[in-house]
């Protein structure tokens, strides 16, 4: 006897609603310095984006995700073509060319490419099967995954958009490490990554002139501002220093809604987008930030649960890719705000103001819901993955 789950996961919906409240409060408070005639300009647009995102999520939920296997390659190619269009005819803002102007709306293809890559890598790894592979048989799988990930990674990196490029890298690593490839191959990959990071650290401290030739000036400035924000407080380290001052001043319970000194004085640039965590830290304090982290933890935990309950390997990898997408963005955004990571201009999922990133995350959740809805549950079975 078998039955399908047709109900949406209300626990995830509740968590998304909590993030929605956080987002509206933080966007309203953090966007005052950018308000265009009305203090509700940005928060109204964020509200509309949320409505569109929820509608898109529900639409994706009704779609049977298994049909995406047949369209995985065309979907991936579409994403690459969009990135090429950005490269040759995209809209440039603040020194970065990341958008395509459609007159009515501007879209950021790098955001949608994250979803497209999850689908295609899930397709590749699904074909590799669930049985553990040997080191030798793992090589072509890893090379194939690396090749198809490297194309969007490089196209996004040259925009330049280091944040999104790192997310592409994070999605790839998350999926590889949860695939059927050999444990020896995983050790080999970890060794390669560690060696590469070690080489960069060596160049920075002992061959600095050569290091400056490896990275571009804007990337160097972010590294300088990250490693020594006090020395570069007037330029490279300004954002980080002001953000950490604001978060620290929030103490246990925060200064209060719209009462943040650093935020309301305009000392934290992009407070409603990339640095929105500083708004939450200053105005809602340690309690507010811990509660937000708890919501993210529960969201990721619930997606993992759905992956474990899924009977289709393609669906499992979609859930795993979504976990990588959300968790890496949370880690990177919060990390750069408190000085653990270099500043990369990455949005905080479901919180930061912005349409493309928000819609991307909603599509990802829609795919997770679709996996849950269309996964067969068998009575008296051990729920084996196929």
Q: Quick check: 375 pLDDT over 80? A: no
Q: Quick check: 340 pLDDT over 70? A: yes
CA distance 96 to 279: 25
Q: What residues are paired with 193 via a beta bridge? A: none
Six token digits for residue 346: 């990455």
Q: What is the pTM of this model?
A: 0.90
Reference 200, options 189, 215, 219, 187; nearest CA is 215
Name residues whose C-beta falls within 8 Å of residue 102's C-beta, 6 or more positions apart in sequence. Answer: none
Q: For the chain, what is the mean pLDDT? A: 87
pLDDT of the residue at 36: 65
In angstroms, how far is the first alpha carbon of the chain from the final one? 18
Q: What tens digit of pLDDT does each residue of 128-173 get?
A: 888 888 899 999 999 999 999 999 999 998 888 888 899 999 999 9
Enclosing H/E stretch for 101? strand 96-101
Six token digits for residue 263: 């935020």
pLDDT of the residue at 65: 92
CA distance 208 to 198: 14
Q: Classify residue 339 as left (phi > 0), alpha (psi -120 to 50) or beta.
A: left
Query: How far is residue 164 from each of residues 23, 34, 121, 311, 346, measured CA to CA in Å?
Result: 21, 24, 17, 31, 7
């Amino acid at each position: 006897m078998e039955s399908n789950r047709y109900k949406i996961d209300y626990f995830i919906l509740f968590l998304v609603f909590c993030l929605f409240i956080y987002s509206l409060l933080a966007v309203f408070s953090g966007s005052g310095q950018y308000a265009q005639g009305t203090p509700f300009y940005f928060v109204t647009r964020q509200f509309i984006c949320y409505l569109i995102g929820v509608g898109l999520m529900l639409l994706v939920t009704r779609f049977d995700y298994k049909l995406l296997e047949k369209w995985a390659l065309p979907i991936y190619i579409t994403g690459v073509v969009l990135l090429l269009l950005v490269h040759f005819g995209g809209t440039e803002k603040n020194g970065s060319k990341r958008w395509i102007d459609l007159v009515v709306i501007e879209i950021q293809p790098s955001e949608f490419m994250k979803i497209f890559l999850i689908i295609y890598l899930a397709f590749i790894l699904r074909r590799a099967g669930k049985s553990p592979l040997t080191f030798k048989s793992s090589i072509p799988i890893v090379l194939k995954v690396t090749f198809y990930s490297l194309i969007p990674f490089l196209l996004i990196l040259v925009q330049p958009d280091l944040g999104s490029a790192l997310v592409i890298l994070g999605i790839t690593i998350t999926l590889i490490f949860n695939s059927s490839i050999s444990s020896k191959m995983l050790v080999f990959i970890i060794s390669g990554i560690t060696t590469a990071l070690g080489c960069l650290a060596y160049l920075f401290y002992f061959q600095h002139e050569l290091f400056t030739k490896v990275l571009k000036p804007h990337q160097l400035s972010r590294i300088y501002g990250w490693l020594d924000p006090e020395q570069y407080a007037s330029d490279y380290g300004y954002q980080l220093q002001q953000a950490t001052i604001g978060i620290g001043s929030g103490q246990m319970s925060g200064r209060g809604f719209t009462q943040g000194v650093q935020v309301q004085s305009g000392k934290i640039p992009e407070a409603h987008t990339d640095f929105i965590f500083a708004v939450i830290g200053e105005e809602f304090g340690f309690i507010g930030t811990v509660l937000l982290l708890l919501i993210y933890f529960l969201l990721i935990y619930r997606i993992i649960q759905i992956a474990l309950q899924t009977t289709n390997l393609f669906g499992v990898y979609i859930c795993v890719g979504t976990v990588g997408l959300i968790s890496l963005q949370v880690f990177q955004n919060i990390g750069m705000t408190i000085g653990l990571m270099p500043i990369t201009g990455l949005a905080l999922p479901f919180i930061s103001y912005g349409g493309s990133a928000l819609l991307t995350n909603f599509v990802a959740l829609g795919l997770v819901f679709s996996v849950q809805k269309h996964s067969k549950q068998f009575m008296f079975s051990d729920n084996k993955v196929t």
